[in-house]
Structure 1
Amino acid sequence: MRPMSIGLIATLALAIGGGAGYWLAQQAQSGPAPTPEQRKALYWYDPMYPQQHFSEPGKSPFMDMPLVAKYADGTQDQAEPAVQITTGIQQNLGVRLTTVAQGRLERTLQVSGVLAFDERDFSVLQARTAGFVDRTYGRATGDIVAKGAPLADVLTPEWSGLQEEYLAVRRLGDGELQAAARQRLLLAGMPAELIERVARIGKVQNLVTLLAPSAGVIQTLDLRPGMSVVPGATLARINGVANVWLEAAVPEAQAQGLHEGQAVQAHLPAYPGEAVPGKLTALLADANPQSRTLRLRIELPNPDGRLRPGMSAQVVLHPAGQTDTTLLVPAEAVIRTGKRDLVMLAEDQGRFRPVEVVLGQESGGQVAVLQGLHSGQRVVTSGQFLIDSEASLKGIEAMTTQESPPAPALPALHEADGRIVQIEGNQLTIAHGPFLTLGMPGMTMTFPVSDPTLIVGLKLGQRIRFGVRERDEGMVIEQINALESQP
């Protein structure tokens, strides 16, 4: 028996050894599992320029580094490609979301400029005949003069001869000849006041006093004792100061809603705390092609002369607002590429995708969305650039406005009556009655409010009727109506 047992054991050992050897041989033939380097790459790219794809490996044409291979992601939904980020990673990245909502865009523009003279309020003093300056009155450029203030006495030989002829005709007593002689003096450029003085005194007036034609600031003055003047020469220019102009520039994209006659408020560093009322008098016809701005002309009254040309001023403009509500998102949520505008749309299960949008006016950190989004959708307001970079690495193209999905169906709005117990930040604690559509009995609960403006004007103990809608964060108040107090 013992020799037979030893032989059987030997036979079994040979059989087991042969089976193990066959298994190892099969494993050696099949080889190890493919490594990432052995998988088929979708394309190669430079991490610094992920938008550029290459069909073969090699060296980057942009940076001194080899191209990196991009492999297929088996977990990605090929039907609807998106970037998927877990909740924990979203918190680490500081990703913040906001809900696209309807609202009115209240626009306010602040522009700066420099005060200038009113170019419509100026007068020019010119010589009407040849003569010689006999005397000046000490005026200089920059002086403020009143209307009729004397500027210089000029000796006018040509006018002296005409005056003698006029006085001789008057002595004849012929009315027609007298009228003709007076008309000749007017055609020679003699002021009517001077003709009346010659007729009243009956003597030739050799010296003519030149007077300021209007009140204001002397801009130019070309009068010196002893100098000769020729007809048509400009002797003085005077600008009025009853009003001053302020020319400012606004971006052409924000000029919509501005119109002539619109009221404005100006603030000057020279007079802190004071607001100077004025009006927009003109939107100038030309635009600046370099800065893409339009020029505005604003008129400010200056009855006491405190506003001096050359002073700086800041003006607050209130363009005509929109009469209808529109979709609004924070301006920080928009990724501006120069060719188009994108937002990162947040979906369920931590999925994000870029969407192209068409923007309208912007004001107060909010921008109107004309196409590309629907009310109730959520977009990323912080961390969107990191998600967009990851989308570029995955080759995810932005959804265009023509491909925008239909508006998602919003959950039902449930309404109930209640009394405000506490107002804390953006939350309301309400002792409410039953929600009939939810089958929820009355109780005291704390609800977040979707729009902080809904809380404005509410008071503790006030009775309201409010509507809530179910969201990811729970029941959120979206509608509040004050109820009349019961007697």
Structure 2
Amino acid sequence: MRNLIIVLVFFVAGIYISPFLTPLLTWHNVADEPSALSEKPIYWVAPMDANFRRDEPGLSPMGMALVPVYNEPLTQDAGVVTIAPQVVNNLGVKTTEVISDYFSQTIDATGVLEYSQDGRIDISPRVSGWVEKLYVVEQGDDIKAGQPLYDIYSPELVNAQEEYVLALSQDNSRLIAAAHKRLVYLAMPLNDIEQLNKTRQVKRMFTVHAHNSGVIESLMIKTGAFVTPSHVLMTVISLREMWLKADVFESQLPIVTLGARAQIAIDGLERRDLTGVVDKIYPALNAGSRTATLRFRIANNDLSLKANMFATASINVQRSKQSLMVPRDAVIRSGLNNRVVMALGDGKFKSVAVNLGRENQHWVEVTNGIMAGDFVVTSAQFLIDSESNLSSDLMRYQAPDSTREVAMPMSVWTQATVNRVMAHHEMVNVTHEPIAQWDWPEMSMNFYVDESVDLNSFVVGQRLKIEIISDEDGDYVITGVQMMEHAHD
């Protein structure tokens, strides 16, 4: 009996003093919980756009309530984001290895063919006289070496012949040598001089022959014209070699060297064996286009190339040392820097800044920031880069709960209350109930109304059932409406 009384006394005492002891007993647990400061959101973000952030609650451009984001303890390096495997697959993330190889680049330069000036010959007379006969008719005529070009009568050449004959008759060796030299200087053919030495008969007219084969580029005389040594009678050009003058950009100029070989392509010609060599790099740039001119020498043995043809020279330039390369699709370019997204394994990714070198149609040189053997993302990297650089909340990338469906339905039905009707925009603003299929909380947002739905069905304050779909553009559209029996509560 005594023990029972003692137990009752302690029981009653405990009831009276428990309110005073509770704070002391629970103090340790309160300290272990997150503080009020850590529970304060660091910003609010749009559910459908991670780049739309605000410092206070509000609505997104789509009319959805902003979601708070809390400052969670860091469990990994800054800038590293973790994405669940199924989300990686849904985003279509692809990676490729950083390689070390000899970087090659093809530079395409366009230009126009022209005659090689090395094979151009201007024909002028050595003596004054009259053109008695012209053997070429017009510009573009083909001529062969040794072919006659024109006949000329020159009193000066007739006098020189007479002096030579007089010296021969006097048998004066000094006069003979001087007269002979004068005939040579006046371009009298040697065989005609030999004939004059034998026959002592002075010729009135002489024929001038072509020294090289080619084409008459210009013809500036006619039969009967009086000409002097200062006149250019015609110009003969050789077609065995052509020049291509093509332009390259200023940024490409440092990698082009003299002697570089190029593949030449010409519209209208099926030849694939045309090659050229960079023979000259002109010293001045075009001030307007910021381009430099290159000169290529191209053999034209079959004479298929014509002046003023359009041509493209493809110059292949290869580095002498290996360098790191990544696909062009892997590089994210911005006004501040260039970045790639590295795949670290186990669903972890990180955006890193890189320095770029040369680039071609498929690859880009990387001079700093990554190493050979690293893996970089080549698709869907912009979304990952945004998350990595902004250190945003990554909850939407995490694997869904086992109770949550991975494949979300394309359309859902829900109950909603009409807040506003925007007839001119074919939109309405409604407050809908939570949508478990899409993991949406109860919120107010704007929806487009499909043309199959009568916009007059929506009345402010009305409560109804609506069908929502997500279209190809990512917009949410109301495609069905069901009136409820009690439209107003």
TM-score, normalisation: structure 1: 0.59
Counterpart residue number, 1:374 = 371
Residue 118 of structure 2: aligned partner:
120
Flag the 1:70–1:388 CA change in 2: closer, same or farther, 3 A.
Answer: farther
Q: Partner residue of 2:159?
A: 161
Distance in 2 between residues matched to 1:291 and 1:342, nearest whole Å = 30
| Distance (whole Å) between structure 1 residues aligned to residue 290 and residue 88 of structure 2 | 39
Structure 1 position 127, deviation (Å): 2.7
Counterparts of residues 406-417 of structure 1 (less than 5 Å)? none
2:406 counterpart of 1:384: no
The AA in structure 2 aligned to 1:327 is: L
In structure 2, relative to structure 1, the CA distance for the partners of 1:273 and 1:136 (3 Å cut) is closer
Distance in 1 of aligned mates of 2:317 and 2:42: 58
Separation (CA, whole Å) in 1 of partners of 2:291 and 2:67: 45
Equivalent-residue separation in structure 1 for 2:70 and 2:214 (angstroms): 79
Letter in 2 for 1:182: H
CA distance in 2, matches of 1:127, 1:276: 39
Q: Deviation per CA, 1:175-233: give whole Å up to 9, x if none.
A: 11111222334445655555445434423333232332321111111111222223211
Counterparts of residues 186-197 of structure 1 (less than 5 Å)? 186-188=184-186, 190=188, 192=190, 194-197=192-195
For the pair 1:308 / 2:325, whether they are aligned, the reply is no
Read off the aligned partner of 1:176 and give its amino acid letter.
Answer: R
Moved more, 105-114 or 294-303: 105-114
CA positional deviation for 1:318:
3.7
State the partner residue of 2:481: none
Kept in 1: contact 2:164–2:180 (CA 8 A): yes
Structure 2 equivalent of residue 333 of structure 1: 330
CA deviation map 1:263-297 (0-9, x unaligned): 54444444426423554434444455655555433
Give the Cα–Cα distance (whole angstroms) in 2 for the partners of residues 237 and 338 of structure 1: 56
Deviation for aligned residue 1:119:
1.7
SS at match of 1:163: helix
Residues 358 and 370 in structure 1, CA contact (< 8 A), matched pair in contact too: yes
CA contact (8 A) 2:103 2:318 kept: no
Matched, 1:205 2:206: no
Counterpart residue identity of residue 328, structure 1:
M
- C-alpha deviation, 1:389, in angstroms: 5.0
**In 1: Cα distance, 2:261 partner to 2:77 partner:** 55
- 1:358, distance to aligned residue in structure 2 (A): 2.2
**Measured at CA, do residues 191 and 273 of structure 1 come closer, stay the same or move farther in structure 2, by a change above 3 Å?**
closer
Q: For residues 131 and 182 of structure 1, do their structure 2 counterparts lie closer, same or farther at Cα, with a shift above 3 Å needed? A: same
What is the SS of the residue equivalent to 1:120? helix
In structure 1, what is the equivalent of residue 242 of structure 2?
244
Report the Cα distance in structure 2 between the residues aligned to 1:106 and 1:189, rounded to whole angstroms.
56
Residue 342 (structure 1) aligned with residue 339 (structure 2): yes
Match of 1:104 in 2: 102
Contact 1:166 1:182 in 2 (8 A): yes
Distance 1:76 1:293 in 2: 55
Letter matched to residue 304 of structure 2: R
Q: Quote the residue 1:3 is aligned against.
A: none
The one-character-per-residue Cα deviations of 1:344-383 (angstroms, maximum 9, x if unpaired) are 3344565544433222333461222221111232222123
> Is structure 2 residue 355 aligned with structure 1 residue 362?
no
What stretches of structure 1 of length at least 5 have no aligned partner?
1-33, 57-68, 396-487
SS in 2 for 1:297: strand
Is the 8 Å Cα contact of residues 41 and 71 (structure 2) preserved in structure 1?
no
Q: Check the 8 A contact 2:44/2:54 in 1, yes or no.
A: no
1:443-481: CA deviations, max 9, x gaps? xxxxxxxxxxxxxxxxxxxxxxxxxxxxxxxxxxxxxxx
Query: Structure 1 350/363 Cα, relative in aligned 2: closer, same or farther at 3 Å?
Result: same
Amino acid at match of 1:223: I
SS at match of 1:359: strand
Measured in 2, the distance between the counterparts of 1:86 and 1:292 equals 49
Residues 124 and 213 in structure 1, CA contact (< 8 A), matched pair in contact too: no
In 2, are the aligned partners of 1:265 and 1:276 still within 8 Å (CA)?
Answer: yes
Q: Is the 8 A contact 1:254 1:361 kept in 2?
A: no
- Please give the residue correspondences for 1:42-441 in structure 2 after superposition, counting only pairs within 5 Å: 74-75=71-72, 77=74, 80-81=78-79, 85-109=83-107, 111-188=109-186, 190=188, 192=190, 194-251=192-249, 259-272=257-270, 274-288=272-286, 293-322=291-320, 324-337=321-334, 340-347=337-344, 350=347, 352-363=349-360, 365-389=362-386
CA distance in 2, matches of 1:370, 1:198: 79
Count residues with an aligned counterpart.
Answer: 348
Separation in 2 of the partners of 1:209 and 1:76?
102
Shift in alpha-carbon separation, 1:245–1:200, aligned structure 2, 3 A: farther
| Residues 132 and 91 of structure 1: CA distance in aligned 2, closer, same or farther (over 3 Å) | same
Q: Summarize the Cα distance change of 1:40–1:128 in structure 2 as closer, same or farther, 3 Å threshold.
A: same
Counterpart in the other structure of 1:462: none
Unpaired runs of 5+ in structure 2? 1-35, 57-65, 393-489
In 1, Cα distance between the equivalents of 2:73 and 2:285? 50
Instruction: Give the RMSD, CA atoms, in angstroms.
Output: 4.3
> Residues 348 and 93 from structure 1, CA distance in 2 versus in 1: closer, same or farther, beyond 3 angstroms?
same
Give CA-to-partner distance per residue, 1:426-447, whole Å, 9 cap, x none: xxxxxxxxxxxxxxxxxxxxxx
Give the deviation of 1:162 after TM superposition.
2.7
The offset of 1:100, in angstroms, is 1.7
